Structures are given as C-alpha cells and as structure tokens.
Amino acid sequence: MARSLSPRRKMMMTLSAWTVALIIFFPVLWMILTSFKTEVSAVASPPQLFTADWTLDNYAEVWARSDYPRFFWNSVVISVGSTLLGLAIAIPAAWAMAFVPGKRTKDLLMWMLSTKMMPAVAVMIPIYLIFLRTGLIDTRIGLVIALMLMNLPIIIWMLYTYFKEIPAEILEASRMDGASLWGEIVYVLTPMALPGIASTCLLNIILAWNEAFWTIVLTTTKAAPLSAFIASFSAPQGLFYAKLSAASAMAIMPILILGWFSQKQLVRGLTFGAVK
C-alpha cells in the first residue's frame, strides 16, 4: 500500500525508519565492533563506537583456545542434516495433506504444531536417558534426529501452505499423462514448489543452527555445535568482553549472512500461508 509522499515527508519518514532500524540492529553492530577492540577499550567509559587500537587478536585467541572448526562443522552437519531428513519425511506428508485433504487434515496439522508446545524441559530427562542407552548421546546423528523431530511440524506446515498454492489440476494432468505417484512428486510437484522448499530449508537450517537446548543437553564434546560452543564460552565470565564478542560473532556470522541473503523468501515462508 505504498503511496507517494512529498519529498520532505519522504525524507522524514526515511530518517525515522532508519533510526528505528539502527536501534534494532545496534546490539549486533555493537557486538561486532567490540569484537575488534582490545579488552581495555571494550569496557571504556564512556563507550567508544570506534577505537584507534582495533585488533584481530580476539578472533585469533578464540580460534586458538577452542576447536572452532569442529563446532562449526558440527553445526553445519546438524542443521543441514536435520533439515534434509525432515524434508524427506515432510514432503510426502505435505503432499497428502494439500492434495488429498480429509475432514481431519486440519486437526492433524494442529496436532503436529501442538507437539511443539510441549516444553522441552519436561521430557529432558527421558530423552537424555533414551539417547544415553541407544548410544545417540553426543553424536551428530543423534542431534540430527532430535532437531529434525523438533522442527518437523514447522517443515510440514510450511510445505503444506506452499503446496496448497499449486493447482490440483496440474497434478491431475500429470496423472493423465501417465505419471505414477513418484513421477508426480519428483517431476511436477517438487520442481514447482522449489522456491517454497528452498525457503522451508532456510528457515529450518536457521532454527536448527540456533537451537540451544537440546544441543547443550545432548552433547558434551564430540558433536557439540556452535550453540554449545558459545554456552561454554560465556560460562567462565571473567569479563572478557572483546573475546566474548568475537566468539559470539563467530557463532552467529554464518547464519546471519545466510539469513541476509535469503530474507525475502524467508519472510514469505514465515507467514505460513496466512498472508499472501
């Protein structure tokens, strides 16, 4: 509903919108700036936006003191793995709900979503014990499974809303053209829903990357991703602000950049089909 404004009003609107946006963004910016300061200037009072003695030492020290590549790689494997596994289970389910809806379809979707409302803490001990006994504790595959299950309802819901936008006639046409169910899904549905599948993927990678409960509960060292890395870093405190900031930046940067590039598709997917 964008409408034209007089240049003066446009200027004012631009200024106020940018002010608000910068305030929202400021903590992230401040963290990034702090990560390049020495520990002394990081706590300087009054705070300095920029310092003369900027340095990369904090990053070097965090890198040296921790096994960042391993945490990073664990994060990648766990978030991408759980998303792909989730898609493999969710695509058929979303196909069924979108194109062969029954009276119970909506209830089923709501039930799936409601499983996400179950407080994770409530089942923390049982799941910890199950993982311990099955040897899944502190393994990447264990976290892939756990996070896939955490996010499965969201994946199904998002795919469902995307699939529903595809006209059923096109799938019927493929059936008339001799496609089997497999052909229908592989050659017609999936390529047509590719933008939707991509933004579902992105959101779930982000959710999995940022998950900080199960990743901490279910890992110790081997499979710990970046969320566990940062939790271990903030624990000793000691007021190493610059180093804490550097570690934080290293933990969030990959996903922040991915998110920046894909924010358009992401927001569209986040509306869950309720906003066109």
Partner 1 sequence: MATQSSRLAARLMVAPSVIVLLVWMAIPLAMAIYYSFRLYRLISPERTGWVGFRNYTWFINSPEFWMAISNTLLLVGGVLAITIVFGTLIALLIDQPIWGQGPLRILVISPFFVMPPVAASIWENLFMHPQNGMFASFAQGLGMKPILFMESYPMASVIFIVAWEWLPFATLILLTALQSLSSEQLEAAEMDGASAVSRFRYIILPHMTRAITVVILIQTIFLLGIFGEIFTTTQGGPGSASTTLPYMIFKQAIAAKDIGRAAAGGIIAVILANIVAYFLMRGIGRHLDA
Partner 2 sequence: MGQITLNQVRKSFGEVDVIPGVDLDIKDGEFVVFVGPSGCGKSTLLRLIAGLEDTTSGTISIDGKDATALPPAKRGLAMVFQSYALYPHMSVKKNIGFPLKMAGMDPAEAEKRIQRAASVLNLTNYLDRKPGQLSGGQRQRVAIGRAIVREPAAFLFDEPLSNLDAALRVGMRQEISELHQSLKTTMIYVTHDQVEAMTMADKIVVLNAGRIEQVGSPLDLYHNPKNVFVAGFIGSPKMNLIEGPEAAKHGAHTIGARPEHITVGDGPWEGVVGLSEHLGSDSFIKVDVPGIGIINVRGSGELGVHHGDRVKLNPAGKIHRFDANGLALA
Specify the residue, 47 or 102, whose C-beta has the smaller distance to partner 2.
Answer: 102
Any idea what the Cα angle at residue 118 is, between residues 116 and 122, rounded to 5°?
140
Question: Which of these, 23, 28, 33, lies nearest to 55 by C-alpha position?
Answer: 33
Q: Is there binding between residue 103 and partner 1 (CB under 8 A)?
A: no
Alpha carbon distance 168, 112 (integer Å):
24
Select from 105, 139, 190, 265 the one that contacts partner 1 (CB under 8 A).
105
Select from 87, 152, 188, 218 the one that contacts partner 1 (CB under 8 A).
152
Which partner, partner 2, partner 1, none, binds residue 245 by CB below 5 to 8 Å per kind? partner 1
Task: Classify burial at 162, counting beta carbons within 10 Å of its beta carbon; exposed 0-12, middle 13-18, buried 19 or more.
Answer: buried
- The CB-of-204 to partner 2 minimum distance in angstroms stands at 23
Which 238-267 positions form the footprint of partner 1 (CB under 8 A)? 239, 241, 244-245, 248, 251-252, 255-256, 258-260, 263, 266-267
Which 141-170 positions form the footprint of partner 2 (CB under 8 A)? 167, 169-170
In angstroms, the Cα distances linking 104 to 93, 101, 109, 111, 229 are 14, 8, 9, 10, 43
Alpha carbon distance 193, 59 (integer Å):
41
Which partner, partner 2, partner 1, none, binds residue 4 by CB below 5 to 8 Å per kind? partner 1
Alpha carbon distance 108, 93 (integer Å):
11
- The CB-of-145 to partner 1 minimum distance in angstroms stands at 9
Contacts to partner 2 by CB under 8 A:
167, 169-170, 172-180, 183, 187-188, 191-192, 194
